[in-house]
Amino acid sequence: MTQEVKFCYVQDGKLYLKSFLDYPEREIGEVTETEEATIAHFEERFKLFEQKVEELLKTISETENKGSYLMKILHLKEELGTYKGVGDFEAIYHKLDDVEKDLQKNIEQNRERNLMQKEVLLAELNQLLEMEETPERFELVKELQKRWVRVGRVTVEKEEEIEGNFKELIDGYFASRKTQDSAKKELFEARVSKYQDLLTKAEELLAKGNHLADVNIFKELQSDWKEVGAVPRQELGDLWTKFRGVADEFFSTYKKKLKEKRSNRPSAEEALKKKQELCEEAEKLMGLIPAEAVKQAKQLQQEWKNAGFVAKEHIAQVQTRFNLLCDAVFEWEFAERMTRSKVSGFDKKSEEDRKEALVKTIRNLISRDNEEVSRYAENISKLTITQKGGGAQDLFGNRLGFQQRKLEAKKFLLKYFRGE
């Protein structure tokens, strides 16, 4: 006896799913009670599968990284040929097929964008490898390697070539370092020495007792500590424990003094006058050598924080002016340090040649910063509505603002050294 419904039929006590598309008909179960009850059971199973598909499609529509769900779509399409249920599997197939095509297109677009980013990183790596080997270059290469991994895969036709080029350069670089055991030992010794130096400076600041004026300097010591790099535990010894203890004592006293100071805060007019004077002092920094200019800029920043609060209608103008002047000093010192590492015999060259080399470095840094600003802006534009209301937007927004400040400072330097 044979009973047929839209998507299945019963024959000789067995339930068969009808063929659809390229999927042949197949047995999916046996009649256990009545034919109607058996068909209803497998229709419920189909609904479960359909719900599973709809939930996945909803997740894909709401996520940013859609390409990561391609394999799940393919697995579901494959499961259509084995899943035991009764329903419109053909409609589900078309849904999955449409989404698969969209994901493939999305992946290809992402890979084209990744290719452009990796070409930039490859050029940056080549520039780094042309520099003399220093601990700073080693850290820059490692950071670039992390950035490379984060970018993701590129188009298939270019993947082998660009990945091969990058691997050849990276492997060659690290292979060279492995043969330099003495250089690694020197690196560890230099880091331990740096830790010891930072601890000594922290102890001197604590003993000096000028907590309010020196708080940013101490914070910079903490930041520098984090940037020194790893060393074997047995070589670091108890330096960290001592440094942390000094920091705890310093900031405990700082909070007490800050509370006392706030009880005697200057007026808004006095604060504005003081900050205008600090702006004038900051304008003189470019006349110093970079190291001295950085030192005095940090002192001016501390004085700025201690000068008090300025009325809203005045603060933006003086704050922007002061930030630009100080940022320019820090970027100048960094650009000159980078130029010195890249240009052999930099200090022996004429003033004009040094300036020309420095301007070239600043231009390259501006180009790099422009790319970073664009990248952060793009990341913000891609945030979902939920992300825009949370910490992700704040994180990218802060990074974008910081990068834009650095970019403006470099543009200021470029004009300054070109005499504009």
- Summarised one tens digit per residue, pLDDT across range 225-238 is 999 888 888 777 78
Whether residue 392 has pLDDT greater than 90: no
Which residue would you say has higher pLDDT here, 388 or 417?
Answer: 417
Whether residue 60 has pLDDT greater than 70: yes
| DSSP run (H or E) holding 342 | helix 312-342
Length of the chain: 420
Where would I find the H helices in 131-210?
135-151, 156-178, 181-208
Rg (CA), the chain: 32
Nearest Cα neighbor of 286 from 201, 355, 388 is 355
With a pLDDT cut of 90, the percent of the chain lying above it is: 35
pLDDT at residue 397, as a whole number: 67
Q: What is residue 348's DSSP assignment?
A: G
- Residue 372 CB partners (closer than 8 Å, separation 6+): 403
* Block residue for tokens 């003993």: 207
Whether residue 96 has pLDDT greater than 80: yes
Core vs surface per residue 320-349: b (16+ CB within 10 A) or e? ebbbbbbbbbbbbbbbbebbbebbeeeeee
Q: What is residue 6's DSSP assignment?
A: S
Mean pLDDT of 206-218: 90
Whether residue 390 has pLDDT greater than 80: no
For the chain, give the mean pLDDT.
Answer: 86
Whether residue 240 has pLDDT greater than 60: yes
Whether residue 51 has pLDDT greater than 60: yes
The bridge status of strand 26-30 relative to strand 14-17 is antiparallel
Whether residue 341 has pLDDT greater than 50: yes
Cα 358 to the center of its chain, rounded Å? 27
**238, 199 in Cβ contact below 8 A?**
no
**Please, which pLDDT band fits residue 364 given cuts at 50, 70 and 90?**
very high
What backbone torsions phi and psi does residue 20 show, to the nearest 5 degrees?
-150, 145
Mean pLDDT of 22-44: 92
* Block residue for tokens 């600043």: 362
Whether residue 293 has pLDDT greater than 70: yes
Q: How far apart are CA 9 and CA 3, in angstroms?
A: 5
pLDDT at residue 158, as a whole number: 86
Nearest Cα neighbor of 209 from 241, 254, 245, 242 is 254
**Please, which pLDDT band fits residue 55 given cuts at 50, 70 and 90?**
very high
Global pTM exceeds 0.85: no
Q: Please, is 105 exposed, middle or buried when counting C-beta atoms within 10 Å of its C-beta (0-12, 13-18, 19+)?
A: exposed
**Please, which pLDDT band fits residue 298 given cuts at 50, 70 and 90?**
very high
Mean pLDDT of 45-52: 94
pLDDT at residue 183, as a whole number: 63
Distances (CA, A) of 337 to 66, 215, 294: 43, 26, 13
**Please, which pLDDT band fits residue 264 given cuts at 50, 70 and 90?**
low
Q: How far apart are CA 414 and CA 123, in angstroms?
A: 23
CB atoms within 10 A of CB 226: 7
Whether residue 389 has pLDDT greater than 60: no
- Residue 402 CB partners (closer than 8 Å, separation 6+): none
What does the pLDDT look like over 130-160, one tens digit per residue? 888 888 888 999 999 999 998 888 888 888 9
Whether residue 79 has pLDDT greater than 70: yes
Least reliable range by pLDDT among 1-10, 120-129, 160-169, 247-256: 1-10
Whether residue 1 has pLDDT greater than 60: no
